[in-house]
């Protein structure tokens, strides 16, 4: 129990041992600690602990999964007495933990290497014999030497452990690596620093990840502070913890003013429930929520219409936050309200039209529909106003209309085009007239679509077109298929030798020529008449 450890471990070493335990649990790796324990006879014993953590997922406590620490303890009291000296330490392999990946080293009072384990070769590239007798400060980056010496020197001479100082070490190949170094001083019987034991752990990967994270955070901060949208970060309780500087441009408040205010007090009373429901939905489902608009009070007391996308985010510690990206849509909403007034004024005219009439914004959201349009999609006109064209029509149809809407929005000119629209297992044809919809200031805020159903005419046209193709085929058969053998007969008749023919034979030959010419005249007449009928059909269709 914690009580036993407090009773058994020397008071000066307890906090360090507790910190080592936490490190072992966090890293799930081999950990080494040296501390003084109180013997039952009242003396102090120096113990070296080698241990690792094991996660017991079967055993659960009220606070969660239990981490079991397993290890061994060695009594190294004799090695820490002056009578045994440095030699005893160098001869004790477990005390040096020569098999761990951390660099374990022993230094004299000046910092020169007396011993270093093989990990230094794998980590920094130096052979053990290359370092013995040289100062550890030679391996420390020049920019870190002064700070490390100032921070560690006095503590070590007082016999205090220097915990987890971060310093850059220079590898043999010139690479710079980050290490977390813990140094334990060993004093002689007179309290004078005799030597030091250091454990250096490579944290370069962690530092690199930390650098990347810091760069990303800086980039995100720059994006948030320079976007025209308002970026808000809320705790799950709803308290605003961050708002981007763009809030000043949109709502007139400085960022610190917004954070100091009660967020719900700035929302229009009619919209508070809407925003609260969005936050609740995000927390419950984890899915992003979109709000077409809600109102917030400007510092100058008027209402601003904001469109928002809200989602749940998690920081590196696992804490949840609600992130909202809000953009000012006041101009579009107010323009839409202006259109509603226009709609009410001309509704009776539009409702009496046989055509489908609709008004849409650039994204295809409905601003107005007449009853004819509502009947066509089998929905109520009031319901349609909250929907998009994609809610009713197939993607190919939607794509075609949006392309024409964008063309009108960008050019400011009207366009007429035909469209094929499948609806309820039937194909409809429309001749559409699109005209720009302008506000009182002349700004194009949407498009008016007047669609006349030309399905019957289109079917009739296709039928006539089919008949026309049939007549064209008949004309071809008459002029080529039938005339070909007739032409052959006429050619053969010219080859007859009339010498020696009597009057009867000559009469038969003459009759045959007359009939062939008559048949040729009839075929020519049929072809000409077919052409005239076909041309008349084409002219009528045009």
Question: How far is CA 102 from its chain centroid?
Answer: 39
d(CA 517, CA 511): 10
pLDDT at 89: 45
pLDDT at 93: 42
What CA–CA distances, in Å, run from 374 to 117, 371, 392, 455? 83, 5, 11, 18
The CATH number of 333-453, from 3.10.20.740, 3.30.450.20, 1.10.3720.10, 3.40.50.10490, is: 3.30.450.20
CATH code of domain 227-328: 3.30.450.20
* Cα radius of gyration (the chain): 46
Report CA torsion sign: 220, 225, 226, 232: positive
d(CA 513, CA 493): 7
Which of 520, 521, 518, 513 minimizes the C-alpha distance to 496? 513
Report CA torsion sign: 373, 377, 382, 384: negative
Sole residue written with tokens 């160098």: 90
CATH fold of the domain at 2-207: Beta-Lactamase (3.30.450)
| Cβ proximity of 252 and 340 under 8 Å | no
pLDDT per residue, tens digit, the chain (542 aa), is: 577 777 888 877 788 888 877 777 776 666 778 888 888 877 778 888 877 666 554 444 444 455 666 677 777 776 555 434 444 444 444 444 454 678 888 888 888 998 888 889 989 999 988 998 899 989 999 988 887 777 777 788 888 888 888 889 999 999 999 999 888 888 877 888 888 888 898 988 888 878 777 776 666 666 555 566 888 889 998 888 888 888 888 899 998 888 888 888 999 998 899 999 999 999 999 899 998 889 899 998 888 889 999 999 887 778 899 999 898 888 777 665 555 555 555 556 666 778 899 989 989 999 888 889 999 999 988 888 778 999 999 999 999 999 999 999 999 999 999 999 998 888 999 999 999 988 766 788 889 999 999 988 888 877 777 776 766 666 666 556 666 676 777 777 777 667 777 878 788 778 887 887 887 787 777 767 665 655 554 544 43
Q: Can you point out the beta strands (E) in 172-315?
A: 176-187, 193-202, 230-235, 240-243, 289-297, 303-314
Which of 145, 178, 146 minimizes the C-alpha distance to 164? 178
d(CA 378, CA 356): 13
| Cβ proximity of 24 and 52 under 8 Å | yes
Question: How far is CA 121 from its chain centroid?
Answer: 44
Cα angle for residues 470, 472, 473 (degrees, 5° grid): 65
Beta-bridge mates of residue 368 = 359
Structure tokens at 108: 């004299």
Instruction: Count CB-CB contacts under 10 A for residue 261.
Output: 14
**pTM listed for this prediction:** 0.33
């Amino acid at each position: 129990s914690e009580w036993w450890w407090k009773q058994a471990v020397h008071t000066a070493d307890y906090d360090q041992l507790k910190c080592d335990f936490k490190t072992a649990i966090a890293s799930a790796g081999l950990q080494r600690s040296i501390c003084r324990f109180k013997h039952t006879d009242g003396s102090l014993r120096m113990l070296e602990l080698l241990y690792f953590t094991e996660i017991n997922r079967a055993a659960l406590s009220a606070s969660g999964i239990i981490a079991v620490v397993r290890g061994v303890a060695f009594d190294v009291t004799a090695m820490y007495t002056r009578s045994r000296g440095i030699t005893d330490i160098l001869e004790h392999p477990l005390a040096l933990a020569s098999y761990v990946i951390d660099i374990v080293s022993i230094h004299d009072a000046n910092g020169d290497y007396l011993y270093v384990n093989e990990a230094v070769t794998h980590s920094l590239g130096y052979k053990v014999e290359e370092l013995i007798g040289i100062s550890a400060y030679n391996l420390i980056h020049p920019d870190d030497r002064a700070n490390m010496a100032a921070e560690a020197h006095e503590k070590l001479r007082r016999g205090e452990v220097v915990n987890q100082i971060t310093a850059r070490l220079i590898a043999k190949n010139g690479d710079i690596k980050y290490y977390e170094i813990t140094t334990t001083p060993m004093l002689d019987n007179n309290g004078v620093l005799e030597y030091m034991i250091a454990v250096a752990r490579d944290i370069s990967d962690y530092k690199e990840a930390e650098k990347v994270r810091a760069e990303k955070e800086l980039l995100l901060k720059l994006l948030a502070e320079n976007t025209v949208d308002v970026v808000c970060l809320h705790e799950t309780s709803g308290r605003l913890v961050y708002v981007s500087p763009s809030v000043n441009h949109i709502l007139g408040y400085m960022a610190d003013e917004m954070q100091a205010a009660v967020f719900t007090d700035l929302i229009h009373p009619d919209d508070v429930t809407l925003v609260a429901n969005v936050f609740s939905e995000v927390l419950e489902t984890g899915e992003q929520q979109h709000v077409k608009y809600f109102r917030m009070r400007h510092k100058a007391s008027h209402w601003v219409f904001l469109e928002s996308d809200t989602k749940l985010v998690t920081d590196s510690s696992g804490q949840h936050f609600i992130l909202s990206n809000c953009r000012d849509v006041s101009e579009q909403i107010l323009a839409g309200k202006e259109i509603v007034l226009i709609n009410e004024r001309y509704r009776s005219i539009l409702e009496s039209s046989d055509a489908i009439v609709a008004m849409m914004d650039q994204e295809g959201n409905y601003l107005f529909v007449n009853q004819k349009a509502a009947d066509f999609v089998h929905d109520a006109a009031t319901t349609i106003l909250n929907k998009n064209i994609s809610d009713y029509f197939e993607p190919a149809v939607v794509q075609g209309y949006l392309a024409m809407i964008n063309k009108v929005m960008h050019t400011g000119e009207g366009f007429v085009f035909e469209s094929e629209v499948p609806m309820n297992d039937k194909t409809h044809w429309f001749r559409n007239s699109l005209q720009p919809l302008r506000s009182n200031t002349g700004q194009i805020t949407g498009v008016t679509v007047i669609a006349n159903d030309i399905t019957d005419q289109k079917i009739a046209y296709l039928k006539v077109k089919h008949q026309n193709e049939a007549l064209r085929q008949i004309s071809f058969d008459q002029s080529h298929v039938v005339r070909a053998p007739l032409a052959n007969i006429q050619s053969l008749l010219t080859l007859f030798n009339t010498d020696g023919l009597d009057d009867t034979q000559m009469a038969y030959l003459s009759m045959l020529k007359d009939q062939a010419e008559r048949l040729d005249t009839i075929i020519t007449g049929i072809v000409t008449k077919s052409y005239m009928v076909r041309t008349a059909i084409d002219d009528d269709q045009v």
